[in-house]
Amino acid sequence: MSPRRRVEPDSTDLFRLPDARPRRWVLPLVAALAAVVVVAAITVSTLLLVKRETQREDAIRDVAVLSFVRGFVTQYATLDPFHANDYADGILAQGTGDFAKQFQDRMNEIVIQVARAEPTTGTVQALGIERWNRDGSADVVVAATTKTKMPDGKTIESGSRWFAIATKEGGQWKISSFKQVI
């Protein structure tokens, strides 16, 4: 016999199982609560990541359209009478839709006007997205200044405001409408 357990020889306790311990309910409860907390943390983290990525994509899209419109307006406001045909071709290449059609219709007049003009330097002072349209285009408002150096050495500076609609076409931004705001 084991020295730990003394059983009387005529006792039936020899074949009896020891008493079952009461079940602990604290450990499964803590494990379940920990699992709920982990699932909640993963869900919140995923939602925050999706929101951040959406905001990042929106910011990249805003910067892309503003950068394109800034370059377009700068090119549009900068006249070089010695390269009038290149000027017209460059503007036409960045246009689409109604703007490209109207510019194409008046291209000869525009080339003649640019060739007769004095050299002008255009600068964008400020621009901003007014709104995004459902078709993915953006309405952009632009304020620009132009400096014209006259043959007598004087410099004339003037300001203008423009309303442009930029549309993404074939992976590139293009101007579909361009109007001067008075």
Q: What CATH number is given to the structural domain containing 59?
A: 3.10.450
**Residues whose CB falls within 8 Å of the CB of residue 120, separated by 6 or more in sequence, listed in order:** 77, 78, 79, 146, 147, 148
Residue-by-residue pLDDT tens, the chain, 182 positions? 455 666 566 666 666 777 788 878 888 899 999 999 999 999 999 999 999 999 999 999 999 999 999 999 999 999 999 999 999 999 999 999 999 999 999 999 999 999 988 899 999 999 999 999 999 999 999 999 999 988 888 889 999 999 999 999 988 999 999 999 98
Distance CA 152, CA 102 (A): 35
Distance CA 88, CA 73 (A): 13
- The number of distinct structural domains making up the chain is 1
Residue pair 141/167 in contact by the 8 Å Cβ criterion: no
146 within domain boundaries: yes
Residue 61 lies in domain:
26-76+118-181
Distance CA 80, CA 72 (A): 15
Two tokens, residue 49: 């990541």
H helix runs in the chain, sequence order = 26-77, 84-93, 97-105, 107-116
**What amino acid occupies position 170?**
G
Q: Identify the residue whose tokens are 């290449």.
A: 93
65, 57, 90, 59: which is closest to 76 by C-alpha? Answer: 90
Q: Identify the residue whose tokens are 């990042």.
A: 56
161 within domain boundaries: yes
Give the pTM: 0.77
12 within domain boundaries: no
3-class SS of residue 135:
coil
59 within domain boundaries: yes
